Amino acid sequence: MTNALPRWMRTALSEQRLVPYVKATGGDEGQARLLYWWNAEASGAFLGPLHCLELTLRNALHDRLGAGFGRADWWEAAPLSPNGRKLIDEARRKGGRRHGVTSSDDVVAELSFGFWVSLLSTAYDRALWVPFLHRAFPHYSGRRRLLHEDFYSMQLFRNRIGHHEPIHHRHLAADHAKIYRLLEYLSPDMAAAARAMDRVPEVLSTREDTCGGLRPPRF
């Protein structure tokens, strides 16, 4: 195993992006190369569980708000913050560009994970959580604040993966467990189905062999 990062990798991925991996391996560029690719493999493995978490949250909140306000475009009646209203307007414009006539489903599809997580924040405690949104979590009996903190941490985790940032330094087993704990609050059936397809545990178990050059990383 060469101890130097190949020139093509430095050019294609950029020196700046590779620096954290070189630092993490104590300057061993050969180890940094393997760690980079294992990080990419682990990031890819997390996309499936995060996909399930985001969509299950989105649809649960949308359903509860639609029922609570008595209309599919509940955002027209809900007391959203200025930023929330701005995100709705942006989603409506994006949906219109893609589909011409914007339906409620089009707007929902354009809204980000961050928008849905924000609906669990303190700003909406009395307006949305108390009357409607607590019912979206039939298997949760804790405080809204703690639930919001957990979902927000998963939002940040997803964003790191989406921007191809390092995640190897995190307690990834704990991140994985949190995803399923949150999913089970929403839908135990979805959590069970996702677990059956999940390859994160396998990928996490291969880190030592992959970074030791005994196993090639796979996407």
Q: Are 182 and 117 in contact (CB under 8 A)?
A: no
Tokens for 213, please give them.
């050059």
Identity of the residue numbered 189: D
6-64 pLDDT, tens per residue?
999 999 999 999 999 999 999 999 999 999 999 999 999 999 999 999 999 999 999 99
How would residue 99 be classed by pLDDT, with cut points 50, 70 and 90? low
Predicted pLDDT of residue 3: 78
What do you get for the CA distance between the two ends of the chain, in Å?
21
